Structure 1
Amino acid sequence: MDRETRRFWFSLLNKERRANKLQNNGKLHQKITSELVATLRPEFRSELIQINLFGSRILCLAGPDSDLDIYVDIDNSSTIYSLTVTDKVLHEEEVITKALQNNRSMWAFLKKSGGKCPVIVVRHKNSNVQCDINFTNSLTYGQNKLVIYIFELQPVARLMVIYLRGWAEKHQIKSVFRSHLLVLMVIFFLQVRGYLPSVFQLQRGINPDIGPWITTFCKLKLSDFKMMKIPLNADQTHKKLAEFFSYYSTFNFSRIICPYLGREVWRSKLKYSMPQRCRQFVGQKIFANSPVAMQDLVHLAFNKGASIQQSDLDGFLQKCRSETYGFFNL
């Protein structure tokens, strides 16, 4: 192993250890969870408040400044799916916001964002950790569990995302190519190369549990798909990152990044490539009007790449081409 490869590997392992430490901070997570329950329970007068943590901290991808994503399930509403914001959601948003604002010893209210999936942003004062609280959409939490399992199947995927998070920050594209997009891109790349099964294969025979969507999956082994684990070492991780940059530097973005099928799909053909249960939701317009079409793992009518502008994509492609040359010539 030459000096540059050793430097790459030791730096990556240090970032991994830091992410593991944040993920394993059970006392902090328990404190935030218990204080949030204590804040909300008097308002809803219900024992049925469940706090579920997800996001980069739970996926072991986080850096020191990473937020903590929280899904609050009130009255077992996690299986409810709606295309619009209901009066119940608006009421819950108001009640949760006021409860947090009134408990200034524990929480500093920062903001709230609207849309189909409202998020309330606060800072937990004791730890200084920013918390993004979602209370209407359990799909992201379900997807998080699927990603954890995929990382267990092919651990090099997590190392690749950890590296790419730092790479995106270094090149000042982190605000556009955020962690959840890099996760999808890495999973899709490994699927196309034959190292991971498709989401469809992992969900075969399972019924929808939230509207038309499936958030659960079968816990199978790579050997069930005649696939092998990629060795976790410097050479193999370095090689897979080089191949990642090479793949996306020439990717035809008129096609869809589709982890559900694990293969590239033309935008015009996506709807009829999907299961019958969700074709009415997967309209062509959702994926047609943006430079990047990147389908969510479980919410198959959601284009996760919709916010990426053409200038962002052009810059990303240029950086991928540069990295392809640099990685293959180390």
Structure 2
Amino acid sequence: MFDLDLALHPDVCAMLKSRETLLDHCSQLCLLSTATSHPSVERHILRLLEDALKPAFGEVRATLFGSRASGLALPGSDLDIFIDLVTYPAEYWLDPPLYQSNGLFGCPTIVPEQRFVWLSTIVPEQRFVWLSTIVPDSHINESSNCTFHESQSTQQFIVRMSANVLQQHPDCKKVCDIPWARTPIVKLLHAPTQLKCDLTFKNALSVENTKLLRYRDEGGNTFVCDRLYTAYDERVKQLVLAVRWWSKLHTLTASNKFTNYALTVMTLFYLMTCRVIPPVEFLHWKYTGPKKFISVSVTHWLCSCRVMHPSQCDSLVVFLSCDAPQQPLSSPNKQSLDKLVAGFFHFYSTYDYATLVVCPLRGQSLLRDTFRLNDLTRLPLNYVESVLVERREEQFRHYTPVCVQDPFDLSHNLTKAVSPEVLNKFIHLCNASWELCDGL
């Protein structure tokens, strides 16, 4: 019997009915994305969180990242927010004894025999949190390479503490901490706007990832936006939105399937192979002018990307591998959007998932076997240095059904949770969609 789960959604069939319907639908998605953005509301929520967390952590800085920051949000998109605890250095948290408050929470120095935090400055009544259930003794033995934001047990403590604080705020409802995730988060609902928010405290890599698509910086009461990949070509945003919408209709998007971010990176990688946009490595290397869009070193990864504005690009020069000659891109890809949509589905319906890794840093696929560290010359230098020199515990998971490398956190496989069944469904639907597109 035919599996209805593998059938194309009727709305997708309608979109791919003709070239005109496809282009019209992509335009509508862009308009819908623009209408979803509410910068003043987003700024208000960021300030609310900073003010709410300040009594517990001192100075904090809330930064929006993800779909809403990159201009790729659709109705129902959550607010992804990075909370930077900027007041206190790592030694306040990592040096034994575990948590020396020094007035941070209005309590005396904490020693292993007295693991509690006095929250009298945060809530009306004096409240004790028993830390023996939150932070294990093994925290002391964690890798010395962990920074304040990287330490997993510290993250679990911060997330639980933040959830406790935010539960007291009248505008924060359904506050829930998820301390055991790879990146511990706090989830909440902003009651006045009914917007769902996901708060992370780990590091700023997610913020840097967002800047690949669109850089938002705060100046006074306004957002100054300088687009990166979306500035090179308007087709980037249109294709990313179309792929995300297509995936959502086919229930391929979830934390244990393809995340929106993974799909975005896969779309960008496809466009790199078409030479519509340059690889991330190009952003590190090409531009030497005064304008810096990204210049942050985060958790030992190289995130310093100086970007040439499209108006300054007569031709793009891309390094395809570390020993390859420079190959100028004198004729940018001029394919129409409908051809790029068809190309995306064909590319990923025929991709060799069994042997290749999607590597947006290089803009080309790498062999899985190279991640066994047998041939270090073919791996990104950042990855080799971090694994061998810094001895990071986490290495890239190259043995999962599909491998997509994060362009900044090079040890992170963005699709490590995708099962063989989900991958097979993705391939089948890509092929079915390509067959429809092929007739346009």
Q: TM-score, normalised by structure 2?
A: 0.67
Provide the residue aligned with 2:65 in structure 1. 54
C-alpha distance in 2, partners of 1:198/1:77?
36
Is residue 395–residue 412 contact of structure 2 (8 Å, CA) maintained in 1?
no
Provide the residue aligned with 1:274 in structure 2. 379
Whether 1:287 aligns to 2:366 is: no
Provide the residue aligned with 1:238 in structure 2. 338
C-alpha distance in 2, partners of 1:82/1:223?
43
Q: How does 1:55-204 map to 2 (within 5 A)?
A: 55-75=66-86, 81=147, 85-148=151-214, 149-175=228-254, 176-204=257-285
Greater shift in the superposed pair: 264-273 or 299-308 = 264-273
Provide the residue aligned with 1:43 in structure 2. 56
Q: Secondary structure at the match of 1:72?
A: strand
C-alpha distance in 1, partners of 2:18/2:382?
50
Q: Secondary structure at the match of 2:265?
A: helix
Whether 1:29 aligns to 2:39 is: no
C-alpha distance in 1, partners of 2:87/2:426?
41
Is residue 154–residue 195 contact of structure 1 (8 Å, CA) maintained in 2?
yes
Alpha-carbon spacing, 1:227–1:55, altered in 2? closer, same or farther (3 Å): farther
Q: TM-score, normalised by structure 1?
A: 0.88
Is residue 110–residue 122 contact of structure 1 (8 Å, CA) maintained in 2?
yes
Alpha-carbon spacing, 1:227–1:106, altered in 2? closer, same or farther (3 Å): farther
Q: Paired residues, what number?
A: 323
Provide the residue aligned with 1:326 in structure 2. 436
Alignment partner for residue 258 of structure 1, among 359, 368, 382? 359
Q: Which amino acid aligns with 2:314?
A: S
1:248-281, Cα deviation, whole Å (9 max, x unpaired): 1111112000001111110112452234443154
Alignment partner for residue 299 of structure 2, among 208, 211, 215? 211
Is residue 203–residue 299 contact of structure 2 (8 Å, CA) maintained in 1?
no
Alpha-carbon spacing, 1:19–1:78, altered in 2? closer, same or farther (3 Å): farther
1:49-100, Cα deviation, whole Å (9 max, x unpaired): 1110011112222221110100011116899847953554333223211111
Q: Which amino acid aligns with 1:326?
A: L
Alpha-carbon spacing, 1:94–1:170, altered in 2? closer, same or farther (3 Å): closer
C-alpha distance in 2, partners of 1:26/1:20?
11
Query: Displacement of 1:329 after TM fit?
Result: 0.2
Query: Displacement of 1:165 after TM fit?
Result: 1.3
C-alpha distance in 2, partners of 1:83/1:138?
9
Greater shift in the superposed pair: 174-183 or 291-300 = 174-183
Q: Which runs of 5+ in 2 are unaligned?
A: 1-15, 91-145, 215-227, 289-294, 317-328, 389-393
C-alpha distance in 2, partners of 1:61/1:184?
13
Is residue 242–residue 328 contact of structure 1 (8 Å, CA) maintained in 2?
yes
- Bigger radius of gyration among the two: 2
C-alpha distance in 2, partners of 1:116/1:255?
24
Q: Aligned-pair RMSD on alpha carbons?
A: 2.7
Q: Which amino acid aligns with 1:67?
A: D
Provide the residue aligned with 2:20 in structure 1. 6
Is residue 349–residue 430 contact of structure 2 (8 Å, CA) maintained in 1?
yes
Is residue 35–residue 106 contact of structure 1 (8 Å, CA) maintained in 2?
no
Q: Which runs of 5+ in 1 are unaligned?
A: none
Q: Secondary structure at the match of 1:288?
A: coil
Q: Which amino acid aligns with 2:81?
A: I
Is residue 155–residue 179 contact of structure 2 (8 Å, CA) maintained in 1?
no
Whether 1:315 aligns to 2:329 is: no
Is residue 212–residue 278 contact of structure 1 (8 Å, CA) maintained in 2?
no
1:30-62, Cα deviation, whole Å (9 max, x unpaired): 221121122111222x2x311100111122222
Provide the residue aligned with 1:223 in structure 2. 314
Q: Secondary structure at the match of 2:396?
A: helix
Greater shift in the superposed pair: 32-41 or 3-12 = 3-12
C-alpha distance in 2, partners of 1:195/1:61?
19
Alpha-carbon spacing, 1:97–1:311, altered in 2? closer, same or farther (3 Å): same
Q: Secondary structure at the match of 1:223?
A: coil
Is residue 159–residue 179 contact of structure 2 (8 Å, CA) maintained in 1?
no
